[in-house]
Structure 1
Amino acid sequence: MTGWWRDAELLAQLGPALAGLFSDVSPTVIAGPQSRGSLLGPLVAIHLGVGFVELLKNHPSAADSDAWWQVTTPPDYRDRHLRLGARRALLSSGERVLFVDDWVATGAQVEAAHALVELSGATWLGAAVVVDGAERAHIRRKVNLRSLLHIREL
């Protein structure tokens, strides 16, 4: 998948295409997990004219003095539980959040991101991803998952 980033034409189309999955809503901020969500999320944010919040994995809270929203993921595709977090100053009530990432497999990170947004008091609009490989069907409904491709199409 990282080869997709090398194709300038494809890369230029990803932001508008992912934003187009949610043309029926108006986000005020895009959120994406490090690392590929941090690549794709800003492309969507630029297209929509809104800001971006990076959701960091296993960020050591002792590393800075800012207050953080943090949640723990269910087991991910590597059977790990990760801490997903964002600075509280960057995500607050009144925000309308669209989550962006490259791929959903177990749904652990998108599920945790959804919980983090709810914890912050912001409104979760949905998850725009390149590939839907969700192993648990209920995750699609729970997080309002929309994708450009389904894993069966690859």
Structure 2
Amino acid sequence: MSVDEKKSVEEKKKAAAAAALQAAHEHLGEARDGVVQSVVDARHVKASWQGIADELGIAQPNAIRKFKPSLDEREPEQRWENEADPVTPALVAVRRAHRALADAERDEVREVAGARSVGVTWGVIAEAVGMKEPNAIAKYKPMLEEKRIFTVREDARPG
């Protein structure tokens, strides 16, 4: 394989990794939106803030501060009024949405690691996740373990 062919393959790998990262980031945004919507739905059936906070693993005042503004901006999508106890399925939905968000966050970090492993720059990563480069580095670099791998070039000859 020629040097130009190798460079072309490397560039294709980088482009694919950047695209996969961007897709993971979009999925993360959808997962965040899913948590917000599940909280709106839960409050619609009178689930307590404490119950919602417990499902999210955060303090009740933080849940109120973070999600209460969404109650005025959104309509409920899921309705459990026909259930004998509508609060229980609503809180289960909050729990599921929160787990999906955690999975999406892990997937995004995995895609960042994959992108870095094929040589994608921090600038490209930052663009894919909608951040400034220093912020992307500060967020993701502490979560990565860098290993340097050395290989012998094909054109190397012992001297």
For the superposition of Structure 1 and Structure 2, which TM-score range results when normalised by the shorter chain?
under 0.3
Between structure 1 and structure 2, the one with the greater Rg is 2
Structure (1 or 2) with the greater strand fraction: 1
The normalised TM-score by structure 1 is 0.23
Structure (1 or 2) with the greater helix fraction: 2
The normalised TM-score by structure 2 is 0.22
